[in-house]
Amino acid sequence: MPNMIVKVPEGVFDETARAALGKGLHAAAKAVEGWGDDPRQEILTWVLVEEVKQGCFFAGGADQTSRFIPVIVLLYPPAGVIDEAGRAEAVRRIHQAVTDAKPADDPRRVATSIMVRDVADGTWGASGEIWRLPDFARAAGYKHLRHLCAPMATGIA
């Protein structure tokens, strides 16, 4: 149940491409984190796509957007959900999702910069309450963290 903030150059990803990007990033997170199959778990990942004004992406001190499409992704999973191998898989899948969402008629290659930033246990607020790893495990149905979940009478487990 991560949050993702994605920064893309303004005008590169049209509405259709942004929808594909959101869907692809959601699928990448689900695959890496190992959510359950309850449809209510689908809304637990939020993806925010922010467009950065033209002329504001710099590499090597210059705007390089004529040569490639720079995309910055900040992935914020709860600490303890993704291990080292999962981080590598997340980076691979996120890059692929961005590449797949790029409009087909754009000849530039995609260059991603992806940062995985674990949110320390007890520092994530959701709907007015602090959540801890067992709360996330219960809500998201993480297959590898089911041992943290106490059975619930009516909730997602």
Give 18-45 pLDDT, tens digit per residue. Answer: 999 999 999 999 899 887 777 778 788 8
Reply yes or no on domain 3-148 having CATH 3.30.429.10: yes
Specify the 3-state DSSP secondary structure of 113: strand
Task: Compute the distance between CA of residue 45 and CA of residue 29 in angstroms, rounded to an integer.
Answer: 8
C-alpha distances in Å from residue 148, one per residue of 2, 79, 140: 18, 14, 12
Average pLDDT over residues 44-54: 92
Least confident of 41-45, 78-82, 84-88, 148-152: 148-152
Model-level pTM? 0.88
